[in-house]
Amino acid sequence: MLSALLVMAGIAIVLGAVLGYSAIKFRVEGNPLVDKIDAILPQTQCGQCGYPGCRPYAAAIASGEADINLCPPGGEEGIHKLADLLGVEFKPFGGNTAIKPKSVAFIDENVCIGCTLCIQACPVDAIVGAAKQMHTIIASECTGCELCVAPCPVDCISMVPIREKITTWKWKYPVYSLAPAK
Amino acid sequence: MRTLYQFHGGIHPPGNKAQSTQCGITRVPLPSRLVIPFRQHAGEAAKPAVQAGEHVLKGQLIGMPCGFVSSAVHASTSGTIAAIDAQPIAHPSGMPDLCATLIPDGKEEWFPHEAVDYRNSDPADLRQRLRMAGVVGLGGAGFPSDLKLRFLRLHPSQKIDTLILNGAECEPYITCDDMLMRERAAEIVQGAEMLRFILDAGEVLVAIEDNKPQAITAMRQAVTESKLPFEVVVVPTIYPGGSAKQLIRVLTGLEVPSGKLPTDIGVQCFNVATVYSAYRALAQGELLLSRIVTITGNVRHAQNFEVLLGTPVQELVALGEALPDTDRYIMGGPMMGVELASLAVPLVKAGNCIIAASGKLFPPAPPTLPCIRCTRCAQVCPADLQPMDLYWFAQSREFGKAQAFSLFDCIECGACSYVCPSHIPLVQYFQFAKSEIRARAQEKQAADHARERHEFREYRIEREKQEKAEKLAAKEQAIRQSRAAATPANPVPGPAIQPEIQAAIERAKAQAATVEPKNTDNPTPQQLAEIAGIEAQRERVRDLAKSAVEHTNGHDKN
């Protein structure tokens, strides 16, 4: 009886020590799930999901606060990928804003007064300019988040949808009708 | 006799090559207008080097190579650049691309050019010459040839054992390489020697399918006359035996591993027309301004023509006299060609054949039936893939699985679609899946880039905040220090200043005592009444507040 108790207690102490040691030794900094979710999000940093950027939204999904269907730039495909990753059912888009075609911001340089408000708003530093100097968008860096549109006091920023070019053209899904059964 | 090997699968479609080999290559008269696209090769488009309205000479550079994978573009004849704008080109999307419109002046005045003695030149210099001469693969892919010759710098230990001249020309209807080998064999052999020199290659093999006996004879004769140790190898006629990886397999028995290049196994392969244009570029200084094109199909005179690049297809069709029931035109072969959106499309470097198609020649495919997994596509696939599985994944958009099943090893030869008893457009599915996967990879790259920039921005803002705080702290510290230093070190100003301040304060006090506020002097009875009213109001409010506090206190006690 006593020997059995001692053996069990001994095992418990040894295992407890192993677990305690590994908890310190193999501690994971941050939540790896957040990184995985963040890798799927489109990184426009637009805040249309209601969180101040893609990473906060990823953190909110990981903690179960936010739904997976709030990201407009990610579109349906992004929701599918998140559903696959998290092992949950796909949900149709449920955010407050509509899914829009991919765009880049454009500054009407004749109207721009050089107030630098858009530069401060841009999450990816895609606007060049200085105080009282004309500003312009670096189109290749612009993620189309629209965060610069609202702060502009003279409304000189518009969103221009990206047109399909010969270099970005994609083969379409083949469409044909099957032969009718006789 | 050399041992030949076999690649997996392949098909035997009717050749239809006899029609266009009846007479020799003819030069096409100068067209009234040339449209020269800046993107005639794989990779980045050339950058326009001329402006609209400028007069150019034949062979003058009009498009500068831009980026690593790129090639030069030249004026095909002398004349005036009428416009530089978007024009329709031969592309499956039917979209226009940037082109220069050239109105020839008919003088054919050459831009100064010179030949080079390749034996006494640096290979790097020769490669640069080929790049600036606009020499690209003329078999259809349009890959810049100088890049295929420069691999040695990337893999210094790898040696090219075999240089293959691809004269297989396996696709039906096309005969431009056949005619070129028949008529200009000596130049091709000289060009091969130049490329061998640049690559420092071992043996040189000229592969020709056995359905071109005249070309085989001509090339053998040219090789014998040149006294070069080249070998003309006759390979069996099978489609797609002219595809580089398949031809390498037939000649050497080696398989190019998935995702690798032929150079990784010590083999390099050039189309005979490319070799010919490389010869012209180096030995005569003549740039790539024209190519041999087969005009065939539903035409009265099927023939090969030497055509200036940029010639509109309608001029070529007129030369072949297309029959009235022609309903569409294809650039390239019937298996892999591009259907032309309009006849105004210009001929480009990769355009080896123009086929006039009619319902009689190419009957419309019967209606598609569901896949029955008969695996005939897998039996003919030259890349040894499982097209029925790839089809399944592509149509259900499971791109990850398609990639796991080596989708990118597909050469889009169309053999699977050709044999499919259900007439499923398999290649279209593979093209769709490939371009989706590429687009996604690009999007992912863009997202990663954006994340990096966003994170850097946050770091920068944080850093600026910290720097500001540090600066402020340092300033405060400095002030405190100077104060602390000032008090004991300079006791002299202290007592000197102190009485002054005291005097000022006393002066101000005395002033305040002597001066009385004037607005309270002699108020009128009206003002007095107002003041009394306000005082009464204040009193009432004070009472109210007091009673309210008492009331709540009493309430609490209860």
> Closest Cα of chain A to B520: distance in Å?
51
DSSP state of B111: P
Contact criterion met (CB below 8 Å) for B4 and B250 = yes
N-to-C CA span, chain A: 82
Across the beta sheet with B303-308, the strand order is B26-27, B303-308, B290-297, B353-357, B328-331, B338-339
pLDDT for B439 beyond 50:
yes
**Structure confidence by residue, pLDDT tens digits, B489-528:** 555 555 556 778 888 888 888 888 877 666 666 778 888 8
pLDDT for B39 beyond 70:
yes
Nearest CB neighbour to A174, from listed B428, B447, B450: B428
In the prediction, which pLDDT does B558 show? 40
Question: Per the CB < 8 Å rule, is A126 touching B454?
Answer: no
Q: Write out chain A's pLDDT in tens, 182 residues.
A: 899 999 999 999 999 999 999 999 888 877 788 888 988 898 888 888 888 888 899 999 998 888 888 888 888 888 988 998 998 888 888 766 677 788 899 999 899 999 999 999 999 999 999 988 889 999 989 988 888 999 999 999 999 998 888 888 889 898 877 766 55
Contact criterion met (CB below 8 Å) for A62 and A31 = yes
CA distance A174 to B395: 9
**Structure confidence by residue, pLDDT tens digits, B263-272:** 888 899 999 9
Instruction: Please report the DSSP string for B479-523 in residue order.
Output: HHHHHHHHHHH-TTHHHHHHHHHHHHHHHHHHHHHH---GGGSS-
In the prediction, which pLDDT does B108 show? 85
**Structure confidence by residue, pLDDT tens digits, B68-119:** 889 999 999 999 999 999 999 988 888 889 999 999 998 888 888 888 888 8
pLDDT for B534 beyond 60:
yes
Question: Per the CB < 8 Å rule, is A176 touching B425?
Answer: yes
pLDDT for B453 beyond 50:
yes
In the prediction, which pLDDT does B474 show? 93
- Contacts of residue A80, defined as CB under 8 A and 6 or more positions apart, other chains included, come to A90
| Phi/psi of residue B383, nearest 5 degrees | -95, 5
In the prediction, which pLDDT does A179 show? 64
What average pLDDT score do residues B327-350 get?
91
Q: How many CA within 13 A on the CB side of residue B550? A: 6
Sequence spans of domains, chain A: 32-86, 101-164
Query: Can you identify the CATH homologous superfamily of domain B19-30+114-357?
Result: NADH-ubiquinone oxidoreductase 51kDa subunit (3.40.50.11540)
**What are the chain B neighbours of A123 within 8 Å (beta carbons)?**
454, 457
pLDDT for B289 beyond 80:
yes
Question: Per the CB < 8 Å rule, is B432 touching A42?
Answer: no
Nearest CB neighbour to B93, from listed A53, A166, A178: A166
Contact criterion met (CB below 8 Å) for A137 and A127 = yes
Q: Which residue in chain B has the smallest CA separation from A44?
A: B450
Question: Per the CB < 8 Å rule, is A125 touching B457?
Answer: yes
Would you state the structure tokens that stand for residue B95, as one six-digit string? 């979209």
Instruction: List residues in chain B touching A: CB distance below 8 A.
Output: 39, 89, 91-93, 95-97, 366-370, 425, 428-429, 431-432, 434-436, 439, 443, 446-451, 453-454, 456-457
CA distance B50 to B72: 13
Contact criterion met (CB below 8 Å) for B267 and B161 = yes
Q: Choose the mutation target among A35, A51, A142, A173 for the interface with B, i.e. most B CBs under 10 Å.
A: A173
DSSP state of B312: B
Going by C-alpha positions, the residue among A48, A40, A161 that lies closest to residue A102 is: A161
CA distance B215 to A78: 56
What average pLDDT score do residues B375-389 get?
94
Strand partners, B370: none
> Closest Cα of chain A to B402: distance in Å?
15
In the prediction, which pLDDT does B476 show? 93
Contact criterion met (CB below 8 Å) for A70 and A49 = yes
Query: Where does B162-289 show beta strands of DSSP type E?
Result: 162-167, 203-209, 231-235, 267-271
In the prediction, which pLDDT does B554 show? 47
In the prediction, which pLDDT does B155 show? 61
Contact criterion met (CB below 8 Å) for B163 and B205 = yes
Tell me the percentage of chain B whose pLDDT exceeds 90.
57
- Contacts of residue B323, defined as CB under 8 A and 6 or more positions apart, other chains included, come to B298, B299, B300, B356, B358
What average pLDDT does chain B have?
Answer: 88
Query: Can you identify the CATH homologous superfamily of domain A32-86?
Result: Electron transport complex subunit B, putative Fe-S cluster (1.10.15.40)
Sequence spans of domains, chain B: 19-30+114-357, 369-483
* CATH code at A101-164: 3.30.70.20
Nearest CB neighbour to B457, from listed A38, A124, A168: A124
> Closest Cα of chain A to B22: distance in Å?
38
**What are the chain B neighbours of A43 within 8 Å (beta carbons)?**
446-448, 450-451, 454
Amino acid, res. B105: D
CA distance B522 to B473: 56
Would you state the structure tokens that stand for residue B347, as one six-digit string? 């001929």
> Closest Cα of chain B to A55: distance in Å?
9
In the prediction, which pLDDT does A181 show? 59
Question: Per the CB < 8 Å rule, is A143 touching B92?
Answer: no
3-state secondary structure of B2: coil
Between residues B1 and B289, which one has the greater pLDDT? B289
In the prediction, which pLDDT does B556 show? 46
CA distance A139 to A126: 7
What average pLDDT score do residues B243-264 get?
90
Q: Which residue in chain A has the smallest CA separation from B425?
A: A174
CA distance B84 to B102: 9
Query: Using alpha carbons only, what angle is made at residue A142 by residues B468 and A136, rounded to the nearest 5 degrees?
Result: 75
Q: Name which of B63-67, B364-368, B407-411, B554-558 the model is least confident about.
A: B554-558
> Closest Cα of chain B to A118: distance in Å?
14
In the prediction, which pLDDT does B271 show? 94
Amino acid, res. B16: N
Which of B266-301 are b and which e, b meaning 16 or more Cβ less than 10 Å from the residue's Cβ?
Answer: bbbbbbbbbbbbbbbbbbebbbbbbbbbbbbbbbee
In the prediction, which pLDDT does B557 show? 42
Instruction: List residues in chain A touching B: CB distance below 8 A.
Output: 38, 41-45, 53-54, 123-126, 141, 143, 164-166, 168-174, 176-180
Q: In the block, which residue shows the tokens 């190419």? A: B362
- Contacts of residue B16, defined as CB under 8 A and 6 or more positions apart, other chains included, come to B172, B173, B296
B455: left (phi over 0), alpha (psi -120 to 50) or beta: alpha
CA distance B91 to B338: 7
Nearest CB neighbour to A178, from listed B367, B428, B457: B367
| Distant-in-sequence contacts of B212-220, Cβ < 8 A, 24+ apart | B212/B167, B212/B169, B212/B178, B212/B181, B214/B21, B214/B178, B214/B182, B215/B167, B215/B177, B215/B178, B215/B181, B215/B182, B215/B185, B218/B181, B218/B182, B218/B183, B218/B185, B219/B167, B219/B181, B219/B185, B219/B188, B219/B189
Going by C-alpha positions, the residue among B266, B264, B286, B268 that lies closest to residue B277 is: B286
pLDDT for B466 beyond 90:
yes
Q: Where are the alpha helices (DSSP H) in B240-356?
A: 244-252, 272-283, 313-320
